[in-house]
Amino acid sequence: MKYRSSRGGVSGLGFRDAVMMGLATDGGLLIPHDIPDVRDKLVSWSSHSFQELAISIMAEYIDDIPVEDLTLLVTDSYARFNHEKVTPLVPLGDFHLLELFHGPTLAFKDIALQFLGNVFEYILDDQKGYLNILGATSGDTGSAAIESVRGKSNINIFILFPEGRTSPVQEAQMTTVLDANVFNIGVDGSFDDCQSLIKTIFSDLPFKQEYQLGAVNSVNWARVLAQIVYYFFAWYELGRPETFDVSVPTGNFGDIFAGYLAKRMGLPIRKLILATNRNDILARFFHTGVYQRGEVYISESPAMDIQVSSNFERYLYYALDGSCEKVSEFMAGFLDEGVARLDFNTSGFDESFLAGSADDEETLKTIRNIYEEENYLVDPHAAVGISVGNRLRTPDVPLLCLSTAHPAKFEGAINKAIPGLTPSHESLEALAGLPMRKEKMGADVAQVKAFIGQHGLR
């Protein structure tokens, strides 16, 4: 399997090179040359554990890591998860919830980042090299990325987050990690500002090469690959229905794009239901064909407080029939004008998707209703997915909703939804009173680059 850029300037990369490059050198995102059709393998995979399924699916996309080494990487990546099934399925009324928060930082990002951290280490050990990881987070990515590489001697990590716009627990999960190779940067701005800083720095190719910068955000292909696995696993856990709908709370489009690839690989997903909060650039696009940047609103589901979705370009490549020229034109127009358009036909642009949004009031109401009716507590992001999913689903089609984080990470939202209820988790309680370390700076490229220059490996 080889990888190419969505903008056409890079092609023929192996998996290892794609992982280490992160963002393509032409500014595009790396994608596989082909999407494998695995329909003839679905029956033979039916008895696989999560780990065995991960090895089988990843092997479809990786041919430059021996299977025995890949097996060790996958086994090690999920050894710290606190559920034997890794991503267990929970029935709630007339739908099912897939719990993706059983990793070390209680968020779905662990599923991909534990794997990516181990792959980085594996490749660097083989090459006798080093890496400076640069990432941006709206909440959960940062702590999951840090947890995946903390203490590794050949990797330093720099995480940018919007100062004051993550939950206190999310910030504590990052800033209480005092390992010498971990650097947290609180940026005076929004998550989109943090993402813009990252993309600008990566576009400085001499700087990227000098410091061996690597991407840990969902622009890294390995993140998407690891997320494909739990769509297949959930289908098996559901009893292999003829078809099913999946509702995905999303801001950066990475999680739902993994589901889109799973569908193209042959998994019988009927509809991917894209669920956003008030920051609804993606929902608006799938209704109108207009991709337009707007104001970033602070919500009760902060990981989705995003107006520029970093994985959307990967989808564009397929939506535009693999035309790198059209992708480049679309993205250049969006960068210049803050808006770009695709022509929709009367039935919508892509029948694979349904899209909707839920505001804070609806989100909190869903948290409250699920708790009262099912005695089960969901976090605000899962609540967005449940709300939109139930609104757009087809009644006689099984509905799967993704639960992306443990509710204890969002105590404020839970208290608003259910006054007097304080969710807890022992790993989060252990953070209380621990010393913290972070740097604060403006949304200034020169400042961030100077900090990397001072503390990065060379």
Active site residues: 109
Could you give the CA distance from residue 227 to residue 144 in angstroms, rounded to a whole number? 14
Left if phi > 0, otherwise alpha if psi is -120 to 50, otherwise beta: which for 8?
A: left
Buried b (16+ CB within 10 A) or exposed e, 221-256: bbbbbbbbbbbbbbbbbeeeeeebbbbbbbbbbbbb
Residues facing residue 13 across a β-bridge? 3
DSSP letter for 152, please.
-
Q: What SS3 class is residue 300?
A: coil
Paired tokens of 21: 């490059």
Task: Please report, to the nearest 10 degrees, the dihedral formed by the alpha carbons of residues 143, 149, 152, 158 taken in order.
Answer: -60
Helical H segments across 238-379, by residue range: 254-265, 281-288, 312-319, 324-337, 360-374
Could you give the CA distance from residue 266 to residue 38 in angstroms, rounded to a whole number? 6
Could you give the CA distance from residue 27 to residue 7 in angstroms, rounded to a whole number? 8
